[in-house]
């Protein structure tokens, strides 16, 4: 997190915050005493943010008018390219892993299904973790056994993973992917053995991260509505009942959520440390 601006002018801060967000810059606003502070969420946008703030300060009305004109001019093109809009919601890691999951799902519906499953499941036995084949700690996340299972997980991976990557960067998403996948897969293996698969543990990990990092921060890019949080938790609890029509890897879901909550707390601590350093430096 990087502090960009401090002001008491609430109207100006509201307009500037809106202007930067509409230009794709991930920013958030916090209160400190009687001051409003504008914070940059992802440091890679620092140069762009400073240029846009200077542009806005020089001529607020002109900057907003130019943005409105630009938006109106490009609207037909955006409406005509739904694929482009969808791709803009994700980063490179989100896209690549979604493609991998999709290719594996297609292959699992061909004659390659059995050898592919044997090479991607977590272990060849019910008693040994794959220390000699470490990719198996991750690859169960590529396995999906029904169209609903596949669509559910890819959608939430794109929605949560895409937002997370665009806010915090590809490295953070890779850390979240590996951490949540390994922990959820190992926990599920210890409970049920090697015959399971799915990206749900990672999805619930990203959900946990989003809940923590955006808690009481409604302007945060990862902020989730209460209704959406409720849906994810209800779905998690339903998995422990006999009400669902599918078999659910409940342990993987819960373990992924726990891993995500821990990662979310770690991110909040890192943000607080960086914010404190910036405040002291200024």
The pLDDT tens digits of the residues spanning 51-97 come to 788 878 887 777 677 665 544 444 444 444 666 777 778 899 999 99
**pLDDT above 70 as % of the chain:** 88
List the one residue out of 153, 112, 110 whose CA is nearest residue 120. Answer: 112
At residue 246, the pLDDT reads 57
Query: What is the value of pTM for the model shown?
Result: 0.71
For position 49, what pLDDT does the model report?
A: 79
Mean pLDDT of the chain: 85
Of residues 264 and 216, more confidently modeled = 264
Q: Residue 252 and residue 194: Cα distance in Å, rounded?
A: 12
Domain locations in the chain as residue ranges? 2-80, 84-271
Q: What is the mean pLDDT of residues 187-193?
A: 92
Catalytic (active site) residue 70: no
pLDDT of the residue at 77: 47
- Tokens for 236? 């998690």
Residue 245: band (very low, low, confident or very high) from pLDDT cuts 50, 70, 90: low
pLDDT number for residue 279? 66
Which of 123, 179, 184, 200 is the catalytic position? 200
Least confident of 61-75, 108-122, 229-243: 61-75
φ/ψ (deg, to 5) at 134: -60, -20
pLDDT given for residue 11 in this prediction: 83
What average pLDDT does this structure show over 202-219?
Answer: 92
Highest mean pLDDT among 10-24, 171-185, 263-277: 171-185
- Phi/psi at 264 (5° precision): -60, -40
pLDDT of 74: 42
Q: CA of 65: how far to CAs of 56, 61, 69, 128, 227, in Å?
A: 11, 6, 6, 63, 35
* pLDDT confidence band for 255 (50 / 70 / 90): very high
- Which residue of the set 17, 144, 149, 253 is catalytic? 253
30 is catalytic: no
**Maximum mean pLDDT: which of 5-14, 73-82, 144-153:** 144-153
| Maximum average pLDDT range among 5-14, 16-25, 48-57, 161-170 | 161-170
- What fold is seen in the domain 2-80? Alpha-Beta Plaits (3.30.70)
Q: Could you tell me if 276 and 208 are in contact, meaning their C-beta atoms sit under 8 angstroms apart?
A: no
Q: Topology of domain 84-271, per CATH?
A: Rhomboid-like fold (1.20.1540)
């Amino acid at each position: 997190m990087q502090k960009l601006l401090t002001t008491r002018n609430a109207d100006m801060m509201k307009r500037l915050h809106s202007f930067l967000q509409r230009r794709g810059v991930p920013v958030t606003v916090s209160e400190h005493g009687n001051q409003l502070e504008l914070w940059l969420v992802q440091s890679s946008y620092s140069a762009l943010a400073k240029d846009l703030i200077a542009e806005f300060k020089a001529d607020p009305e002109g900057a907003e008018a130019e943005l409105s004109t630009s938006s109106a001019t490009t609207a037909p093109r955006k409406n005509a390219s739904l694929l482009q809009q969808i791709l803009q919601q994700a980063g490179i890691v989100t896209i690549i892993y979604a493609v991998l999951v999709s290719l594996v799902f297609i292959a699992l519906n061909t004659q390659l299904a059995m050898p592919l499953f044997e090479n991607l499941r977590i272990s060849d036995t019910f008693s040994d973790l794959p220390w000699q084949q470490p990719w198996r700690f991750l690859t169960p996340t590529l396995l999906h056994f029904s169209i609903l299972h596949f669509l559910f997980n890819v959608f939430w991976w794109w929605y949560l993973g895409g937002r997370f990557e665009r806010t915090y960067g590809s490295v953070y998403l890779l850390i979240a992917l590996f951490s949540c996948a390994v922990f959820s897969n190992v926990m599920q293996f210890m409970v049920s053995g090697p015959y399971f698969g799915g990206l749900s543990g990672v999805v619930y990990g990203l959900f946990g991260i989003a809940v923590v990092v955006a808690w009481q921060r409604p302007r945060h890019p990862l902020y989730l509505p209460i209704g959406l949080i409720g849906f994810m938790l209800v779905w998690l609890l339903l998995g422990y009942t006999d009400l669902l029509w599918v078999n659910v890897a409940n342990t993987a879901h819960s373990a992924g959520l726990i891993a995500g909550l821990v990662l979310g707390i770690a991110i909040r601590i890192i943000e607080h440390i960086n914010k404190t350093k910036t405040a002291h430096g200024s």
